[in-house]
Structure 1
Amino acid sequence: MAELLRLLLQVSEKAANVARVCRQEAPLFQLLVQEKTGDDKNKKFVQDFKTLADVIIQEVIRHEVGAQFPEIVDFIQGEESNKFENGLGESVTVTMRGTEEETAALLATVLDGDLTAAALLARAIHQDPTAVGANTDGLNVPLSTSEVGIWIDPIDATSQYIEGREEVLEEGHLSPSGLHCALVLIGVYRRSTGEPVMGVINQPFNQKDHKSGRWQGKLFWGVSCGDVNACSVSHTKTGLVKRQPPSVVLSSSEKQVVKDTLSSLCGPEKLMYASGAGYKILCVIQGLADAYVLSEGSTFKWDSCAPHALLRALGGGVVDLTESLKCTSKASVELTYHQPYVEGKGADRWANYGGLVAYGDCSQLSSIMEVLRGKL
């Protein structure tokens, strides 16, 4: 499992490189957008886009992990279908090939024969990333790789990635929108119980070098399995404390009753808004917010699995809001990742239907659940 974590850190950086290359080449980026339709469309948005970058990143991760850990390959799932339609209406299955030239030839069929764009992407796919400086030495996870599955969100907050606004990231403050919110998420869960045990979050657009104009990323990881809890984020660095009343991050589209109720608990100055489910949970991980509340079923297993593992490692978690509100005691129901919603179709089979609360501290969770009980 420690080897799997190191591999996931490496492939997340390769994925981040692909995401950056696609944004840096504006003519190429215009070719990479395709609107989602049918059962794969996220109902929350009027327009929801699937990019070729999404598909490539997902398939790169699947290929790399499957090659080193073949026992997992049938249990790697992601947000995207690897079928892409080119301008001629032809459906092409995107996979990573053995050589850069073979991958470029396949991508050229998606890109309507654009050999330059295909070669650029293929080079990013096959290029080994720079060494990842994550300290995982001595990590011993009491679980076999044959017992786990993986959820991939190749680019969470795709709309922010596509729009590409370059907001200034202020130390100690969250970013309401912009490229900072776009994340590569890789979550590992135990197949028997669905509990998240390991997560990697790569933020491809963390800081921009103003001289070169190139973006640098940032990596976060966490493991929570049995008695082992380890995380790249420490409480002392983030200043994660038991603040009462808590600060809460929400979606701007959140129900007014939820906004009003939490405003009465926290005060309006402690309600914040940001884009991207993964980014909002990352804000809780970093201590930029104490909790993230979502009353709608508009997030999915691939959004929450990776950051959920990091929060567990820090003593927090992510609960199903609807199911937890039904509990008569102070108990709560954590999200799990192994079973689909049988009545759902397409992507909705893996939705977090009951909404969620991501929290860093149990007492803060209790305060939030207490004020929301009876309101939803």
Structure 2
Amino acid sequence: MADLLQLLLRVGEKAANVARVCRQEAPLFQLLVQEKTGDDKNKKFVQDFKTLADVVIQEMIRHDVGTQFPDMDGFIHGEESNKFENGLGESVTVTVCSTEEETAKLLATVLDGDHTAASLLAQAIHQDLATIEASTDGLTVPLSPSELGIWIDPIDATSQYIEGREEVVEEGVLSPSGLHCALVLIGVYLRSTGEPVMGVINQPFNHKDPTGGGWRGKHYWGVSYGNINVCSVSPPNCGPKGQQGLSVVLSSSEKQVVKEALTSLCGPDKLIYASGAGYKILCVIQGLSDIYVLSEGSTFKWDSCAPHALLRALGGGVVDLSKSLQSTCEGRDHNTELIYNQPYTEHKGADRWANHGGLVAYRDLSQLRSIIGALKGKL
């Protein structure tokens, strides 16, 4: 598991580099955007884009993990279809080839013969990064790769990535929008139970290099299995809070009835709005917000799996809001926690893997109970 974690940290950083390379080439970026249609379209947005960066990152992670851990091949799932249409209307299946030159040649067909851009991407895909600094020595988890599956969200908050606003963000302050919200999410779950056991989050656009070297990223990771709970993020030292001290991060499009119920519980100044499901859960992990509430079924397994594992390592979790509102259990109810191995068979396409009941991400169980109590009977 320590070897798998190190690999996921490396491929997460490679993915971040790909995301940065794609943004550095402005004319190229216009070619990379393609609207999703049909069953793969996220119903929440009028426009939902698939980018070549998304596809390339997903296939790179699938290739690198499958090569080192063949037992996981076939259980590495992502958000995107790997079929891409170029400017000539030709459908190209994007894969990572055995050599940089072959990958560049394939990507050039997607990029309408732009060999320079294709070579830049292929170089980022095939680069061999040094080991990422992480305190994983001595991490022993009694699990085999053959027991595990992976969910990849190659670029969460794609709309923020495409729009590309470079917000100035202070350390320790939540960013409501902009490149800061775009994340690479890699979550590992148990095939048997669907529980998340490991997560890697890479934030490619964490801060600008003060010497003019462009964007620099930051990574976070966590492992939670049985009595083993290890996380790169220290638990926030918040101390006991009354209900009026609770802060909740929401989507700006959240239902008015939810906003009103939470305003009554927490106070009007404690509702914060931000973009990206993964980023909002990361805000809870970092202690920038106490709780994330979403009443709609507009997130997916690839959005929540990785950050869910980090929250579990910190003593928290992510629950299905609808199930929690119906539950009579006062303690930790494992039946309401999100799981990652079961599709909704009555749905098609991406919706088979949606978190249809909405969700609540939390660090503290008593705070979760307060939120559920405030929303009971309102939805």
| Same fold? TM cut 0.5 | yes
**Share of identical aligned residues, percent?**
78
Shift of 1:211: 3.0
Match of 2:71 in 1: 71
What are the within-5 Å matches in structure 2 for residues 51-90 of structure 1? 51-90=51-90
Counterpart CA distance in 1 for 2:240 and 2:292 is 15
Q: 1:239 to 1:26 in 2, by over 3 A?
A: farther
Question: Which among 236, 239, 245 is matched to residue 237 of structure 2?
Answer: 239
Runs of 4+ aligned structure 1 residues displaced above 4 Å come to: none
- 1:335 maps to 338
Separation in 2, partners of 1:241, 1:220: 23
Q: Per-residue CA shift, 1:110-133, capped at 9, x if unaligned?
A: 111111111111111111234411
- 8 A contact 2:75–2:149 mirrored in 1: yes
Q: Residue 362 of structure 1 aligns to which amino acid in structure 2?
A: L
Q: What is the Cα deviation at residue 294 of structure 1?
A: 0.1
Cα displacement (A) at 1:242? 3.9
Counterpart residue identity of residue 309, structure 2: A
Query: Gaps spanning 5+ residues in structure 2: where?
Result: none
Answer whether contact 1:316 1:362 (CA < 8 A) is retained: yes
> Conserved in 1, the CA contact under 8 Å of 2:195 and 2:340?
yes
After the TM superposition, which residues 21-36 of structure 1 pair with which residues of structure 2 at under 5 Å, given as runs? 21-36=21-36
CA distance in 2, matches of 1:242, 1:57: 41
CA drift of 1:335 comes to 0.3
Q: Which residue of 2 aligns with 1:375?
A: 378
Instruction: Give the Cα–Cα distance (whole angstroms) in 2 for the partners of residues 24 and 105 of structure 1.
Output: 21
Aligned to 2:205: 205
Q: 1:107-186 maps to which residues of 2 (within 5 A)? A: 107-186=107-186
1:17 aligns with 2:17: yes
Q: Is the 8 A contact 1:190 1:197 kept in 2?
A: yes
Please tell me whether residue 259 in structure 1 is matched to residue 282 in structure 2: no
Q: 1:314-367 CA deviation, whole Å, 9 max, x = no partner?
A: 000000000111112325410000000011110000000000000010000000
Output the CA distance in 2 between the equivalents of 1:161 and 1:68.
Answer: 30
Aligned AA (1:47) = Q
Q: In the alignment, which of 358, 363, 376 is matched to residue 355 of structure 1?
A: 358
Structure 1 pair 184/240, CA: closer, same or farther in 2 (3 Å)?
Answer: farther
Partners of 2:374 and 2:354 lie apart in 1 by: 25
* 1:172 to partner: Cα distance: 2.1
Could you report, residue by residue, the CA deviation over 1:267-303 in whole angstroms, capped at 9, with x for unpaired residues?
Answer: 0111000000000000000000000000000000000
Deviation of the 1:169 alpha carbon: 1.2
Q: Specify the SS of the correspondent of 1:74.
A: coil
Stretches of structure 1 that go unaligned for 5 or more consecutive residues are none
Q: 1:241 to 1:282 in 2, by over 3 A?
A: farther
Asked if the contact 2:6–2:131 (Cα under 8 Å) also holds between the matched residues in 1, the reply is no
* 2: CA distance, partners of 1:43 / 1:241: 39
**Alignment root-mean-square deviation, CA:** 1.0
Q: Secondary structure at the match of 1:133?
A: coil
In 2: Cα distance, 1:23 partner to 1:201 partner: 19
**What amino acid sits opposite 1:97 in the alignment?**
C
SS, match of residue 61 in structure 1: helix
Task: Kindly indicate whether the alpha-carbon contact (under 8 Å) linking 1:186 and 1:201 is maintained by their aligned counterparts in 2.
Answer: yes
Contact 1:244 1:364 in 2 (8 A): no
Corresponding residue SS for 2:84: strand
Summarize deviations over 1:47-84 as a string: whole Å, max 9, x none. 00000000000000000000000000110000001110
The letter of the residue matching 2:343 is: P
SS in 1 for 2:216: strand
Residue correspondences, number: 374
Give the distance between the partners of 2:279 and 2:262, measured in 1 at CA: 20
